[in-house]
Amino acid sequence: MVVIREVSAKSIFDSRKEKTILVSIKTNSGKTFKASSPSGKSTGKYEVHCYKKSLEDDIKTIKQFKEYFSEEILDEYEDLKRVEDILDGHIGGNTLFAFESAVLKAIADEKKKQIWEIVNPTLREEKEKKFPRLVGNCIGGGAHSEVKGKKPDFQEFLLIPEGNSPEKSFKINKEAKEKAGFILKKKDKSFKYQKNDEDAWITSLNEKEVLDILKELDVPIGLDIASSGFYHRGKYHYENPMLKREIDEQLTYVGNLIKNYNILYVEDPIQEEDFESFSKLLKKCPNSLIVGDDLTVTNSKRLKKAIEMKSINAIIVKPNQCGSLIEVKKVCEIAKENNIKMIFSHRSGETNETILSDLAFGFQADFLKCGITGKEREYKIKRLIEIEKSLK
């Protein structure tokens, strides 16, 4: 059993060189456990706030709570509910996620088990274990690529290798991304091998030109359109080339892209308020994954609404979007009951934290989206490979 004796927190820098939170707990075993939270740049309107008032305020607040945990015995995943009952309303989503992640690490250490075994205690005994397919950001645009001049309006151009081996998929994605760089050099005169927030290639090409390149790589293709980022006053405002699309035109355009490029996965093709148009696109393209992120923000109520309206057949799970790992479990259970594919996802501002991989495997997610290259991204992929090797 785990009892928390001390709690502390501090700010650290994420992969964007912006501040995020690291939480440390000291337990009755005398050991210290730490966990950090990522931060998103392209955030959904309905996400919880990262911090109650500010990062500095959350750091002060969480230190005041150490006495509140001295009587709490934490022994399993569900005991995180006790943590949430104490901290509810006092801290933001980033801080709660980091705190609960540290607690999970402490419970796993006490039981001499892997973190994913605390998430899913019966998984080791199950014959059929699946590893999430890797979803890697190869070429970037949108809010993740801060450049002067042209860039794709869509935020991410993704590669999704087939198969049940993270190690093989990692190799495929790295080789394909390198090849994409060579092709970009030929087709984009301004290309200089620069990378964006998620270590994806920066280009001045538009989405069709990028998709033409991805077709050459012979790996299943995905898109994160992040359309809320360029939707305002009832229209989708494209800049490369400059044009405005009404909702019907956006639906037709995205539907044609899915068909013409055989796109497996399309995230946030419609702005975050429009459940109905998501539903129309899913009806039109039932064999592709129509993925909710800003639409659903790892929130069980919004997921239920999306299911009722038949808006999606896949959901992004970002633990710090809701903060609560109890809510994450609830979202995963609802998704499984309704045959909604689950994609556990990193954020654009990442840290060296690897618990995302344990959560993805523990909840038997269908996909893990965490980039292709870049130190903070690779830590997560390598953790998944470590789990893969441990089970052979």
Distance (Å, rounded) from C-alpha 52 to C-alpha 49? 7
Composition of the chain by helix, strand, coil, percent to 5? 40, 20, 40
Burial code (b: 16+ CB inside 10 Å, e: under 16) for 102-122 equals bbbbbbbbbeeebbbbbbbee
Domains of the chain: 4-119 (3.30.390.10), 125-390 (3.20.20.120)
251 — pLDDT class (breaks 50, 70, 90)? very high
142 — pLDDT class (breaks 50, 70, 90)? confident
Write out pLDDT tens, residues 291-301.
Answer: 999 999 999 99
- DSSP-derived secondary structure letter, 49: P
Is residue 340's pLDDT more than 90?
yes
Whether this prediction's pTM lies above 0.85 is answered by yes
144 — pLDDT class (breaks 50, 70, 90)? low
Count Cβ atoms below 10 Å from residue 133 Cβ, excluding itself: 23
> What mean pLDDT is predicted for residues 196-217?
96
Is residue 41's pLDDT more than 80?
no
> What mean pLDDT is predicted for residues 106-120?
98
Please list the active-site residues: 198, 318
pLDDT number for residue 136:
98
Coil, strand or helix at 376: helix
Instruction: For the chain, give the mean pLDDT.
Output: 96
pLDDT number for residue 43:
78
Query: Is residue 384 within 8 Å of 360, Cβ to Cβ?
Result: yes
Residue % of the chain over a pLDDT of 70: 99
Q: Which stretches within the chain are classed as H helix?
A: 55-63, 80-87, 93-111, 115-119, 166-187, 207-215, 247-261, 275-284, 300-308, 319-322, 325-337, 355-362, 375-390
pLDDT number for residue 80:
97
pLDDT number for residue 149:
76
> What mean pLDDT is predicted for residues 199-213?
97
